[in-house]
Structures are given as C-alpha cells and as structure tokens.
A and B are shown apart, each in its own frame.
Chain A
Amino acid sequence: MSTALAVLFDGVVYSSWLFLMAAGLTLIYGVMKILNIAHGSLYALGGYTAATIAGAWLAAGHAAVGSYAMLLVAALLVGAVMGPLLERGLLKWMYGKDEVVLLLITYAAFLILEDAIKLVWGVESKLLPEPYSLPGNFRIGTLAYPVYNLVLIAVAVVVGLALAWALYRTRQGKLLLAVIHDREMSAAMGINVDRVYLATFTVGAMLAALGGALTAPMISVSPGIGVEVIVLSFAVVVVGGLGSLGGAAIGALMVGIVRSLAVRYWPEAELFTIYFVMALVLIARPKGLFSPPEARKI
C-alpha cells in the first residue's frame, strides 16, 4: 500500500512541476496562437534569478524562511521584465504571420536568451539548496520525502485554481476568453486586444519563471536546463490539448504518474513514457484530450 502511495506521490510531485510549466505555455498558445519555445529560457531565467536573489538574501544572513519570498520575487521580476520585453519588443511586430514563423521567432529568442544567460551567469552551475532542505522531511511508509515537495504541489494547485478563477469568474478573464474565441470580433467590440496579449504573455512568462524559481532549490541551475523543460511541457500541452488549462493539468498528471510507474517497475522504458502517453492520446484524440472546439469561419 505504501509503495503504491509512494509511486502516486512521486508522480504527483513531477506532475505539479510539469503543470507549472505547461500552464503558461498553453495559456499563451490559447490566446495568442504562439508556441513559445522561449518559455524554456524564461524557466531558466527564473531559476538563475532565484538562485542569485535568494542566494544573496541567505548570504546576507537574513532569515532563511525569507528565501521562499525571494523565489516568488524572482519569478515576478523575470515575468514583469521579460514578458513585456519579448511581447512588445519582438512578438508584437510579427502578429498576423504564420504560426510556424512565430514559432521560429520564439526559437530565435530562446537561442539568444540561452547565450545571454551564459554571458550574465557564466557556465558554472548555481546552487540554492537551503529552501529544499529547510522544512525537513515527512514519511510515506519507510520513505522520507522533503516537505518542499508539498509546497510544490500546493503552488501548482493554487496556480491552477487561480488561473481558472481568473479566466472564468472575472470580467478580464471573460474578455480574454472572447479574444481566444475570435480575435477580430473582440477587437471590433472594443476589447483592447493588444493589452490582452501583453497581459497574457506576461502572466505566461511569470508562470515559466515561477517553475524555474521553485525548481532552483532542487537542482543544479546550469546552462541548458531550459531545453529539457520545453520538450516536456510541449508534450504535456499536446496531450491535454493546445490552449486548454484543464487539459494541461490532466496531461501533466497522466505523464507524471505513468513516468513514476515506469521508474519503479520498468526503468528502461522511462525515457519513452512521455512519448508513449502522447502517442496513445493522439491516436484516440488527434487534437489532444481537451482541445477547445474551433468555430468554422465562412
């Protein structure tokens, strides 16, 4: 029983991490129809900024518990700076072009940002282990787990619920849904589509940076961490259906739990699990599990 619980818990922890990444990606795609490869760089920037700010906080001798706030500050900072910078400075000039062109542009941004990260932080890895070990452990059967994993799950749940509430229960969210449904009609009805795009991209960038900032205490923050992430989050978003927030949550859970099962019972296959899930889903539902229906324009 405790083994099954451990497998489930490992899967849910991994899913939470995947969801934080996938939520921002799917939000940006849903509203702007951009597959944002630079999402991986925003994740990496979140990790590096968190390691720097929280590291400086701890080095200055401040209360260790404050380092959690620094992780949040890092995510907000990266999102608030990089979101508008990329959207206003680059993407705004490309709207209306083919989705593939936009994808290539975000890929170019990804490459530039990867090099910029190396210029700023060098090639040496950065470590920030204190927030990971600080809250101690809890047990599932004989296995010890860091309490930090619960923080990760809690943040993912809160982010998911907050996004759902903002989208479906607020005026701004409804305006955004209108833009998702029909950009031209929304603009004709007086919605400031440019502002919606800017806000969406900034929130998406903050979510990517939040993923990076929360992951920084668990890993060695080093060049290239954004590459792996972007591949995984794309797979999750495709499984869930491009543009669907609920789909991203279900996709992340499916991939996380299947991966966890593979690690435990069939480790050789772990590498393929995410693609296995993706292939199965796409065979049954070529547009993903919860792809929103598209209105046919005449």
Chain B
Amino acid sequence: MKAVLRALVLAACALAVLPAAAQQPIRLGIVTFLSGPAAGAFGVPARNGFELVTELLNAGTVPAPYATKGFGGRPLELVIIDEAGGPQKQVAELRNLAQRVDYVIGYISSGDCLAVAPVAEELKKLTVLFDCGTPRIFEDASYKYVFRTGPTGSMDNTAAALYVLERHANVRSIAGINQNYAWGQDSWTDFEAAMKALKPGLEVKTSQMTKLFAGQFGAEISTLLSSGAEVVHSSFWGGDLEGLVLQGAPRGLFQKHLVVLSAGEPAINRLGTRIPDGTIIGARGPFGPFAPDNAFNRWFRSAYQDRYALPPIYASYKATNALLGLKAAYEKAQAAGATSPSQEQIIAAFEYLNYEGVGGPVRMSLGKGHQAVMENAIGTTRVVGGELRIVDVKRYPPEQVNPPEGAKSEAWIKSGFKK
C-alpha cells in the first residue's frame, strides 16, 4: 500500500512538473549593433524586427504557418547584446553569451561572422547568422552548429550586373566607389567580375576605395565625374551612402552616370526624392519595396510600421527570417517526434530546410544545408507624384544569381555564372 501511495505521489508530481517544463522559456541570444555608425543604419532596425516578432510569436498572433506560440509552444526570451567593438570583442562576448542562452542569432558585420563562426562551433552552440554577406563563411569552411538564413553578398552584385546589362547592353566602361574593407572590396570584386564575365572587354575606369565612414567624397566624386565611365557601382551603406547621394546628386553624378547602389534600399526611406531618378537600387534580397506582395509580407510590414512608425528595412526582414527559420526547424524537429527537441535534432531539421520568410521562400541549400539562398530583386528609382517609387523591378531566381552547392562565388562569377 505504501509503495502504491509513493508511486501515486511521484506520478502526481511528474504531471505537475510537465506543463511547467513545456512552458519554460527558450532564451535567445541576439547580437546586433546598438551603438556606433551601423546601429542606426542596420542594428536598431534589426533589433526592432527581433523584438516585434518575438513578442508576436509569444502572443501567437503571427499568421500561419507560424501561429503556434513561441517555438512549439515554449515562449521566447531575448538576451540582446551590442555587436560594436570588433571581432575580438565579439568572440569574447559569444563565449559569455553561450553560457546564458539556448541559441544565438546575430551578426551584421562580415568580420564578426568570420570570427565567431569557428567559436560557435567550438562551443557547440547553435548560432544563426542573419545578415553578414561574405560568402567565405561556408565556402572556406564547414560548420555543424552555424547556419546563415540571409543570402550572401554575391547575389547582390550578380543580379545588379545582369540588371544593368539587360537594360544597357552597350555599356563599355564601369567605375566603382566602395568602402575600403572586406564588404566594399568583395562587393566591387564581384561586380567587376560579373560585368566582365557578361561583357568581355569591359573597361574599368577607376575604383575608388574610401575609408569607412569618411563621410566626405568631394575628390572621389570629381574623379568619377571625369572618369568617362558609363556605370558607377557602389555598395556604400549608412552615413557614407547618404553622404554620397547628398554630395553626388547636386554635382550631376547620378545624371551623368548610371549609378548602381547595391545596398541602397535603407536610404530610400531616409532620403526619399533626394535619390535621383534612374538610380539602380538593390536591397540584398527581396526585402523592403522588393518583398513580394503577399498577405504574409503585408502583415509584417504593417505590424512593423504600426509599432515603429517607419517601414522595415532589409535588416529587419533578415532578423525576422532568422527567427522564423529557427522556429521552423524547432517545430519540424518536434513534428518528427521530439517534444522538447535537442540541439542536435534542431540542427538535423534545419539542414536543407525550406521555409517561408517575410521576403519570400528561404532555401537552406548551400553550405551543406547551412546557407540560405533567396531570389533577388533589383529596381530603378523614379519620383512619381512627389514620392520616390521603385519601378522596373526585375526578380532573379536563386539559382541564377547564386553559385551551385560546392562552388566558390568568385570562381563561379568569373566563369560567367556557369552551372
């Protein structure tokens, strides 16, 4: 009788504990720029995306297929840290953060991504990179615990080159103005290689590499204006991008040349009609004004706009896609039979996952199933009725602007995008 009683008490305790365990929050470490020049440009819009969507996921008000509360019924709790300070600091921060959270989502800077990826692997902490663009993460290494739900930067420039040449087949010369660090150098290398591969014999008139956050480009604009180049490419972002438009437009840079701003989308909201007509703009994926017009995207855009009184920029979309990707993997692992899936089970579910993002379908098809591809879209600015619009939008399917699995972006671009 005593044994039966003890068994009953134990069973009652177990039953009481089970729902409590199921409701224990999942702690997500979020790393984004909260200070420094990248905070306003990307970091804070990304944090806004994380906070908003986490809140809506916890409330269970995100549309299907993400209507389940939190991750598989477990609420989410965010631990947000600042990405400012450089790769060394971020490595130290990740070592601390990994002990406090279940999973990590973060990193805008390519330098930070390259530094933290091997550390995440060493710590065996599932880490989702959401924004950084360097293709080297999965082209130069292989990771089990690291995923990236944002497309690489290569497709920004392959799509831009295709877009330019489809509309201006007789282009004979190009010039560039890019920031003198990994992002600017890689962007220019990709654009130059893509243009040369698609249009052999193309001449490069000048490649201006400016100091990051230099802010003033008087001499550079003079050089571009007198270079004779037909196309000017820039991957500028943040204050440098705004400075280039503010200083270049009055001097006729955008009238005299066909200007391609491969990461220009965030400036649309900031500069509006100050961006001259005919400027070619990219958003590093189908985000912002390039996002497909469907119910899911309209929901996201309106929820973000209502909360922050500003439209979301591509960093907000990519932050949201990282959250949704992890949620989809978690719930896929649950559907496979694991009520409370382990990290290994989530990883297995995440690899080669296809899921619906706020900018359209996300396919984890590169980097052995750890690197996402998406379609890309490029458009041209035009002021209509006193408002800046993006017109002549061309969508490029993922396989047209991304290398196949196993190929390195640079070699693939130089080969003329051969499959």
Q: Which residues of A contact B (CB under 8 A)?
A: 3, 6-7, 10-11, 13-14, 17, 118, 122-125, 127, 129, 132-133, 137, 141-146, 149, 215, 218-225, 227-228, 259-260, 263-264, 267-268, 270-271
The 8 closest A-B pairs by CB, nearest first: A220-B242, A123-B40, A10-B219, A220-B239, A263-B219, A123-B39, A222-B239, A224-B37
The total of interchain contacts (Cβ-Cβ below 8 angstroms) comes to 131
Say if the beta carbon of B238 comes within 8 Å of chain A. Answer: yes
Q: Could you tell me the distance in whole angstroms from the C-beta of B108 to the nearest C-beta in chain A?
A: 13
In whole angstroms, what is the CA distance A294 to B207 when docked? Answer: 46
Q: A267 and B215 in contact (CB under 8 A), knowing A125-B239, A125-B270? A: no
Which B residues touch A219, using CB under 8 A? 215-216, 239, 242-243, 246-247
Closest A-chain residue to B177, C-beta based? A267
Contact B252 A144 (CB under 8 A): yes
Which B residues touch A221, using CB under 8 A? 239
In whole angstroms, what is the CA distance A265 to B219 when docked? Answer: 11
Instruction: Count residues of B near A (Cβ-Cβ below 8 Å).
Output: 42
Q: A220 and B219 in contact (CB under 8 A), knowing A125-B239, A127-B270, A270-B210? A: no
Interface readout for B269-290 with A: 1 if CB under 8 Å, 0 if not? 0110010000000000000000
Interface readout for B247-281 with A: 1 if CB under 8 Å, 0 if not? 10111100000000000000000110010000000
Say if the beta carbon of B189 comes within 8 Å of chain A. Answer: no
Contact A143 B207 (CB under 8 A): no
In whole angstroms, what is the CA distance A118 to B247 when docked? Answer: 25
Interface of B is mostly: helix
Instruction: Identify A127's interface contact among B43, B225, B238, B271, CB under 8 A.
Output: B271
Contact B218 A223 (CB under 8 A): no
Say if the beta carbon of B208 comes within 8 Å of chain A. Answer: yes
Which B residues touch A17, using CB under 8 A? 216
Which B residues touch A222, using CB under 8 A? 37, 40-41, 238-239, 242
Closest A-chain residue to B251, C-beta based? A144
6 more A-B residue pairs beyond the given contacts A3-B226, A123-B39, A220-B246, with a C-beta to C-beta distance below 8 A: A129-B246, A137-B251, A144-B250, A144-B252, A149-B218, A228-B213
Closest A-chain residue to B242, C-beta based? A220
Q: Could you tell me the distance in whole angstroms from the C-beta of B135 to the nearest C-beta in chain A?
A: 23
Q: Could you tell me the distance in whole angstroms from the C-beta of B244 to the nearest C-beta in chain A?
A: 9
Instruction: Identify A10's interface contact among B222, B239, B243, B270, CB under 8 A.
Output: B222
Contact B270 A6 (CB under 8 A): no
In whole angstroms, what is the CA distance A264 to B243 when docked? Answer: 19
Say if the beta carbon of B44 comes within 8 Å of chain A. Answer: yes
Which B residues touch A218, using CB under 8 A? 215-216, 243, 246-247
Q: A142 and B251 in contact (CB under 8 A), knowing A125-B239, A215-B216, A260-B219? A: no
Contact B219 A145 (CB under 8 A): no
Say if the beta carbon of B170 comes within 8 Å of chain A. Answer: no
Closest B-chain residue to A147, C-beta based? B250
Which A residues touch B215, using CB under 8 A? 215, 218-220, 225, 228
